[in-house]
Structures are given as structure tokens and as C-alpha cells.
Amino acid sequence: MTEQQITSRRVTPTAFRLLGADAARDTWLAERRSGIGSSDVPAILGVSDYTTAVHVYRDKRGELVDDAGEAALWGHLLEEPVAREWARRQRSVIQKVGLVARVDEPWMRATLDRQVLECPMDRAVRTRCALEVKCRSAFKAYRWHADVPDDVLAQAVWQMAVTGYDHIHVAVLLGGNELKLTTVFREQDLERHVVGSVTRFRDEHLLPGIEPDWDLSKAARLIEMDSLMHPERSGEISVAEVDAVLEYAQRSAVKSAAEKALKESAATLRRLAAGKELVTFAGELAYRYTPTTRSSTDLEKLKEQFPDAYAACVSESTSHTLRVSPTFRKMAEEA
């Protein structure tokens, strides 16, 4: 495709349409993997709650298992009504535009939720811009009280860098019953930082095929990713990597010792309580025992007596528990 052909098909000041909004999902996923889109940027910058730069790296290489889950499903289903309500409240006109790419850097891409044909900020002229739609849990509503959360800000900055728009409208549905509207404006310094960081990720990791370091602050997400990618496990480590095994074994031993000591202390407190619910010291409450009720299910009995209910309600999954060999546990104790 020539520069002239790209320029003639621009749908924003600096971007052309790569795929229409009605493109098949498989086609969209394949095209998305050949560039970096706005949804990848928060993970690359380390401000995503759910994914890391490693997730993006493996996704672009076609190695990541697609397991978006319920939140992504409902976000997709609610995108249309949230976008329509934004347009109604703003007395504006919106349309789907699909996947767009920057003219001079086609690897820079964004799938705009909606293109705004008549920006409500200036009704004197029919200015175009874009709308980003989000659906967030009520438990995360507090992040929207003061400003736009970092992950959404990163997406909006990238979208402006790709499209050339000077602002992006954002509509977020909080907890399913509160709509918050805001606008992110273009800031050159912030854009240079975001684009520079993403470009370095592409040049230093994606293109040469060098996986980024694992962000251990998001260890649970990385373990989940690894479990999905490797359901059957067998591997070999080098001498240089043995220290990681010993470190885990040492930390596991410390945790086990702490848990054992905690149980011993709990037993002592029970002895001192002598069956009482409240225990005081010098007239002040020291500790108490609060009744707790737990429900349990006999799955084998359920399966035997109500097989249809068992099949409809019970799902089975396989995970892998990390167990360090006795040899390495001993080495860790002696270290």
C-alpha cells in the first residue's frame, strides 16, 4: 500500500481504516497481533490490573491462551447501550469505525469504540473525535472520583497519538447503574512518554523476540497465564537458575514455620479462654471468639443422587501445585 493510497483513506487526521467494524473476530485478532493497540498499552506501561508486558509479548507471538472471562463479555455486551446513552445525553452523533492505524507508523493501532461525528464541546462546527466506553465494577468506582484511572488514561493517550485527535471522550458505567462522563485532552509531554515507552518495548522485546522480565508484583496473574499456556509440564533448569528454586524453598519453609507458630499461639489463647467467648485484660477486651457458619457440599453424594444438578452446577478444572523436591528442601534448610 502506497503513502498516497493510505492518505486518501484517512478516517481521522493521522490514521486510516485497517479493518471495518464488521470484520470477523479471527481476522481482527490476526491483524491486531501484527501491531500494538491501545488495549495493549496499559500492560506495557505496568498500569493494568490484569495483564503485564509479558502477556502482550506472548499475545503478539500467538502464544497466549484467550481467557477473557465474564468481565470482558459483559463489557462487550454493554458497550452499545452505554455509547448510545452517551450520545443521547450529549446530543451527538456516533458511529463504529473499526481498527485504525497511524499513517506514518502503521504498527501503531487503535480500535476506537466509537467515532464522534459531532463533538458536543463545540457545536458551531462539526468536529470529529472519539469515544472510549468502559464498564467497571462498583468496587473500583473510587478510582473515578478524582481523575481518570491510569490504565484508561494510557489508552486514551495512545488513541490520540494514533488518530491525531486532541481529545477523547470517556463514558464509564460504574456498578451497572451509574454513568460517569469525562474527557481526556492531549498533552504532548505525556504522549511522548507513552509512545516512547511502547516503542522501546517493540524495539527491545517484540521485534528481536526477547521476552520482558516478569513483573512479580503481579505474580498471581503471571502464574494464571503460565498455567493456561502449559497444562502439561516438564522442563529442565540450568545451574544459574537453581537459586530461584532454593529461594522458593526457603520462603516456603519460613511460611510453614510461621503457620505452625500461629497455630500454637491460637491453641494457647483457647486454653486461656477456658471456653469463654470474650477475654478481657484490666477491664479492656483482649480478644473474642465470633461464631462463624460455613456451608459445605458433599459433591460425591450430589453427583450420585442428583446427577443433572451436578452436571449443571459443578465444573472441574486442573491446576498444578508447586512442590519442591526433598533434596532441594534440605539444601534450602542448610543454606
Q: Is the pLDDT of residue 8 over 80?
A: no
323 inside domain: yes
Rounded to an integer, what distance in angstroms lies between the CA atom of residue 62 and that of residue 44?
17
Q: Is the pLDDT of residue 140 over 50?
A: yes
pLDDT > 90 fraction of the chain, expressed in percent and rounded: 43
Q: Give pLDDT tens digits for 305-315.
A: 888 888 888 87
3-state secondary structure of 151: helix
pLDDT recorded at residue 83? 96
3-state secondary structure of 149: coil
What rounded mean pLDDT belongs to the chain? Answer: 85
Neighbours of 253 (CB within 10 A): 14
Rounded to an integer, what distance in angstroms lies between the CA atom of residue 197 and that of residue 36?
12
Neighbours of 130 (CB within 10 A): 25
Please list the residues that pair with 178 across neighbouring strands.
174
Rounded to an integer, what distance in angstroms lies between the CA atom of residue 76 and that of residue 94?
17
Q: Are residues 172 and 30 in the same domain?
A: yes
Q: Which amino acid is at 135?
A: C
pLDDT recorded at residue 302? 83
Helix and strand numbers (H, E) in the chain are 12, 11
Mean pLDDT of 126-134: 92
Q: Are residues 14 and 154 in the same domain?
A: yes
Mean pLDDT of 90-103: 94
Least confident of 85-94, 187-196, 208-217: 208-217
Q: What CATH number did the domain enclosing 23 receive?
A: 3.90.320.10
Mean pLDDT of 211-224: 79
3-state secondary structure of 52: coil
234 inside domain: no
Q: Give pLDDT tens digits for 22-45.
A: 888 888 888 888 999 999 999 999
pLDDT > 70 fraction of the chain, expressed in percent and rounded: 85
Q: Which residue has the higher pLDDT, 183 or 214?
A: 183
Q: Are residues 143 and 247 in the same domain?
A: no
Contact between 129 and 15 (Cβ < 8 Å):
no
Least confident of 3-17, 88-102, 122-136, 317-331: 317-331
Q: Are residues 261 and 224 in the same domain?
A: no
Judge if pTM exceeds 0.85: no
Contact between 46 and 40 (Cβ < 8 Å):
no
Q: Are residues 288 and 146 in the same domain?
A: no
pLDDT recorded at residue 181? 95
Q: Are residues 215 and 257 in the same domain?
A: no
Rounded to an integer, what distance in angstroms lies between the CA atom of residue 157 and that of residue 166?
9
pLDDT recorded at residue 79? 94
Indicate the residue among 195, 210, 229 that finishes a domain.
Answer: 229
3-state secondary structure of 57: helix
pLDDT recorded at residue 9? 78
Q: Give pLDDT tens digits for 147-178.
A: 899 999 999 999 999 999 999 999 999 998 99
Strand bridging mode 114-116 / 178-185: unpaired
State which residues form the domain around 105: 3-229
Contact between 151 and 48 (Cβ < 8 Å):
yes
Strand bridging mode 284-288 / 278-281: antiparallel
Q: Are residues 254 and 223 in the same domain?
A: no
Q: Which residue has the higher pLDDT, 241 or 8?
A: 241
Rounded to 5 degrees, what are φ and ψ at 214? -75, 130
Indicate the residue among 195, 229, 263 that finishes a domain.
Answer: 229
Minimal CA–CA distance to 162: which of 45, 76, 36, 60? 36
In Å, how far from its chain's centre is CA 126?
A: 35
How many domains does one find in the chain?
2
Sign of CA dihedral 201, 202, 204, 208: positive
Q: Are residues 217 and 254 in the same domain?
A: no
Q: Which residue has the higher pLDDT, 273 or 161?
A: 161
199 inside domain: yes
pLDDT band at 6, cuts 50/70/90?
Answer: very low
Q: Are residues 12 and 156 in the same domain?
A: yes
Q: Is the pLDDT of residue 10 over 80?
A: yes
Contact between 66 and 59 (Cβ < 8 Å):
no
Q: Give pLDDT tens digits for 49-59.
A: 888 999 999 99
